[in-house]
Amino acid sequence: MAYDKILKVAGLKTHLLRQGKGEPVILLHGLGASSYSWRFALPALSDRYEVFAPDLPGFGRSEKPRDFDYSLHGLHTWILKFMDHFGLKSARFVGNSMGGVLALWTAMEAPQRVERMALLGTPAYVENRPRVLWPLSWPVIGRLYEWALGETVVRFISKSTFVDQSKVNDELVTEYGLALRTAAGRRAMAQFVRCAIPSDHRERIKRYRDVRHPVLVLVGDHDHMVGRMGGERLVKDLPNARFCFLDRCGHAPQEDAPERVNAELLLFLAA
């Protein structure tokens, strides 16, 4: 059974699911999601590993401070502090969407902390970022859009994310709508989107070729954000990457096709 607690990490109240024994694996969720997105992966991976699935600052049940740095740099820095809190010198990473970008960022900035990483539906290039949320970065209109965020938006985005529409149930919408029920949660998501593309993003893309870690790039055939071309481009840019393209699968493959994705993850993490 998963350890399900809220604890202080780097001064922030952090919701964490933790399960299993063995080498550490850190699961990083996507934008607007939470540790709930790993509900199928956690029990499968914890048979072999000690698995950590936090709600990142600003998301899920974790704290959403106004003055936190919600940029990729700020979240990556928090991830390193999270690892320090649990005495993890290094770990295997699995990231979905924004979580994959954070894993990749960590591999570039602190390569010694990452052993290998699986990037699921990861928008590693600016043109792959979710356009439905771009208005959040606009003055005035962004404030109105931020105010309008809610469970209706969650349901709409989820329906476009999943091939298996039965997964888009009331439980999922409630879980992913948690953060958006509060002004602090809506503000945190808006702050992330406003600074999601760093000013040096073109230089960072050039640095992908320096990432020597083993990488699994997994993309679903119905992932309209990343797509096959986005996945293949990333595999070309990363010198030690393998591509896995899954049919009947959307942008959150660990939820849409959990059995197939878990099998791929177990093979990759053990290699």
- pLDDT tens for each residue of 119-139: 999 999 875 445 555 454 445
Q: Is residue 151 part of a domain?
A: no
220-243 pLDDT, tens per residue? Answer: 999 988 999 999 999 999 999 999
- Domain of residue 69 covers 3-129+200-270
* Residue 159 covered by a domain: no
Q: How confident is the model at residue 36 (pLDDT cuts 50, 70, 90)?
A: very high
Identify the top-confidence range among 106-120, 145-159, 187-201.
Answer: 106-120
Q: Which residue has the higher pLDDT, 101 or 143?
A: 101
186: in domain? no
Distance of alpha carbon 215 from alpha carbon 212, whole angstroms: 9
Q: Which residue has better confidence, 145 or 245?
A: 245
Residue 50 scores a pLDDT above 50: yes
Q: Residue 211 sits in a domain of what CATH number?
A: 3.40.50.1820
Is residue 211 in a domain?
Answer: yes
| Beta strands 50-54 and 91-96, pairing class | unpaired
Contacts of 138 (CB under 8 A, 6+ apart): 145
Domain count, the chain: 1
Say what the pLDDT of residue 22 is: 97
189 domain-assigned: no
Helix %, strand %, coil % for the chain, to 5? 50, 20, 35
What whole-number distance in Å separates Cα of residue 134 and Cα of residue 129? 8
The predicted pLDDT at position 204 comes to 87
| Short-list 131, 117, 144, 149, CA closest to 241 | 117
Structure tokens at 62: 């974790």
Is residue 144 situated within a structural domain? no
